[in-house]
Amino acid sequence: MERIETLLAEHPDFFAFDHEERRQLARHAREENFPDGSTIFQEEDEADAVLLLLEGEVAVQNALPGRDPVRIETLGPGDILGWAWLMPPFRRMSDAVAIGDVRAVALDAAGVRALCNAHPELGYRLYQNWLPHLADRFRAQRLQLLSALASR
């Protein structure tokens, strides 16, 4: 668990958290590895974790009937993958595929939601730190999707 705490402490989205808060979050975390080309999750899967990317890149894409998937964005080290854990029905809204080998810290969604409910100050800080990233990602995804559709 000490290694996970260190990884959280080094992640820019956790600078605002004190040692005890990172320790509590680390209890709900594990390291994950995904080999090149592997599917990390698929649209409609249960959003049971959020991933803090440490190494490698991930293609976030959506399937289109009768067409190749459309890449919405490419994420890399320092990015957060998987926002659907924040809101019901807690289902993935896209596919995620490893580009190269990917190493990440996975935070258990149910555990982090329970922690936020038990410690509202921590939960509020978490949402404060992550919601601006989420808004930026939605804007970027929208532009990427419009660009992809316009080129077809």
17 three-state secondary structure? coil
Residue 152 has pLDDT above 70, yes or no: no
pLDDT tens digits along 92-104: 999 999 999 999 9
What CA–CA distance (Å, rounded) separates 122 from 111? 13
> Any residues with CB less than 8 A from the CB of 34 and at least 6 apart, and which?
40, 56, 98, 101, 102, 104
Q: State which amino acid sits at residue 26.
A: A
pLDDT tens digits along 13-71: 888 899 999 999 999 999 999 999 999 999 999 999 999 999 999 999 988 788 888 88
**pTM, full prediction:** 0.89
Higher-confidence residue: 32 or 127? 32
Instruction: Report the pLDDT averaged over residues 114-127.
Output: 94
